[in-house]
Structures are given as structure tokens and as C-alpha cells.
Amino acid sequence: MNGILTGSAPTIALALWIALVFLLERLFAAERTPPGNCRRIARNFGLGVIALTTAPLLLILTGRIASGIEPLVPLAALGAAGALIVQLLALDIWTYGMHRAYHEIPLLWRFHAPHHLDEHLDASSAFRFHLGEILISAAARLVPALILGIGPATLLLFEAILTANAVFHHSNIRLPERFERALSHLIVTPAIHWRHHHNRRADTDSNYCAILSLWDRLFRSANPRPRTIGMAIGVEGEHDLGFGGLLAYPFRRRG
């Protein structure tokens, strides 16, 4: 859900992709941008700066810890390419499981809700994550890393792929319907993920996939309805907050 790959070529490729998506969603917008959109984008990137400076360091630490311990499930027999594919698939399904846990466990939801409080979606929404969620997710990735011996390079590669697709599926790009429907059978698209951000909790608690879309179908959490133009985005019964309010959200007293 958060981070960026270090290293010049992948970083440049990811930066160019982000810039392209930002351009396309302004040339071919599916939804009209709301009033105060510049402030919303600045707020999202404010959280994103924290995420993007913290997540890679935590992932490197996680990978180094895992690399120093014999994996529970060695993958050497698969060869380098085979091991990489298995590790990336394992990280993707683990991300699906963690995302679902953030919705189903109240304590975790407190840290994930600031992401959902955004009342409009575009590429900047992909960077809107609370530092607490970054820390929890990085710590949780120790589990697949230790089981499969996933090192820093693979963790960062997965995070770059995850970030690239998150920018895409949060984006406000108007895509040809047939193209998006075909693509959605393989990866998460805006039509899938915008429904996840609908401010009706029944829809919010569905469509948890991050990269490949098959996990939702496999575990029966797929929502059959695509996004509709003008659907309300956010958290049911709540409104978006300022930067300080988002940081404080997980620690506020309830009721």
C-alpha cells in the first residue's frame, strides 16, 4: 500500500509513471475536481512525504533481518526467477490479507481510516497513509519475509510495483469501459478500487486487492458493482479532516 523503490532507474521510472498518471487524469478526468482540491492534494502529499521517507527504510530493515535467518520455506530449488515470482505473489496475497485486517479489526481501522477519509480520489490518494499504518504494515511483512527469505531488494521491488498500481487504481482517469473491464480481470483498476472507497461501509468492506484482482474473487470479497460517476467517496458518517486531525485520528477518544 505505501513506499518507493530506492535506486536511480526504478525510481526514475516510477516518478515518470506518477507524472504521467497525474497528467492523464487532468486531460481525461472521470470526475470533476472538488473545491479546495489543491489543499486536499497538499494534505495527501504531506502524509505521503512521511510515508515515502519511512517505508523504504523499514523495508530495508525487514529484509536484512529476514536475510540473516534461514527461511522456513527455502526457494533455491526454483531458481532466481522462480523464487522471485513466488515471493512477489506471496507479498501480494499478504497485502490483501493485511488490508482486509485493517477493515475488520477496529484498532487497525483507526490507523487505516485516514486513508478512507479522503472525499475525492486521484493519484495523490495513493500516498495518503498514516505513519502508524506504515509501521504496522512494515512490521507485519516480517512474517512472509522470514518464511520465504525475502530480502531488501525484493521487498523494495514489490513496494515499487504496489505504489505504481496504487497510483493507477486511485486515479481519476476516464478509461474506455471495455478496456478497463478486460484489465480488471488481471489487476485492480479504478472501477474496482473507487467502489472500495464508496462512503457506504458495505462497499468499503470489499475489494481489498492491491495489485492482482484475483484474491478478492478467490476469497469472496469482490464487489460486483463498478464505480459510478458521482458516487460519494469517504467514510460513512464522517468527514475529512485537516493534516493535524488526520495524524491525531487513531488516538481520538470514541463516543
Measure the CA–CA gap between 232 and 214, rounded to whole angstroms.
26
Give pLDDT, residue 231.
93
Q: Which residues are CB-neighbours of 11 under 8 A, at least 6 positions away?
A: 4, 5
Give pLDDT, residue 3.
38
Contact 118, 46 (CB under 8 A): no
pLDDT one-digit tens code per residue, 158-194: 999 999 999 999 999 999 999 999 999 999 999 999 9
**Cell representation of residue 107:** 484498532
pLDDT one-digit tens code per residue, 188-212: 999 999 999 999 999 999 999 999 9
Measure the CA–CA gap between 75 and 83, rounded to whole angstroms.
5
Give percent of the chain with pLDDT exceeding 90: 87
Phi-psi region of 3 (alpha: psi -120 to 50; beta: other; left: phi over 0): left
Residue 223 lies in a domain: yes
Q: Which residues are CB-neighbours of 144 under 8 A, at least 6 positions away?
A: 87, 90, 91, 94, 150
Q: Please check the confidence at residue 1 and state whether its pLDDT lies above 80.
A: no
Residue 1 lies in a domain: no
Calculate the dihedral angle through the C-alpha atoms of 50, 145, 98, 155, rounding to the nearest 10 degrees: 40
**Cell representation of residue 155:** 521487498
Residue 93's SS3 state is: helix
Q: Please check the confidence at residue 106 and state whether its pLDDT lies above 80.
A: yes
Of 100, 127, 116, 226, the residue nearest 174 (C-alpha): 226
Task: Return the H-helix or E-strand segment holding 73.
Answer: none
Tell the residue number behind the cell numbers 477519509, with chain if given. Answer: 117
Q: Which residues are CB-neighbours of 96 under 8 A, at least 6 positions away?
A: 208, 209, 210, 215, 216, 219
pLDDT band, residue 255 (cuts 50/70/90): low
Residue 72 lies in a domain: yes
Residue 3 lies in a domain: no
Give pLDDT, residue 36.
87
Residue 49 lies in a domain: yes
* pLDDT greater at residue 241 or residue 226: 241
Residue 2 lies in a domain: no
pLDDT one-digit tens code per residue, 40-62: 999 999 999 999 899 989 999 99
Contact 14, 164 (CB under 8 A): yes
Amino acid of residue 168:
F
Residue 195 lies in a domain: yes
* pLDDT greater at residue 221 or residue 4: 221
Measure the CA–CA gap between 198 and 232, rounded to whole angstroms.
6
Host domain of residue 163: 8-251
Give pLDDT, residue 7.
52
Amino acid of residue 194:
W
> 40-53: b or e for each residue (b if 16 or more CB lie within 10 Å)?
bbebbeebbebbbe
Q: Please check the confidence at residue 154 and state whether its pLDDT lies above 60.
A: yes
Residue 136 lies in a domain: yes
Q: How many domains does the chain have?
A: 1
What's the chain's average pLDDT?
93
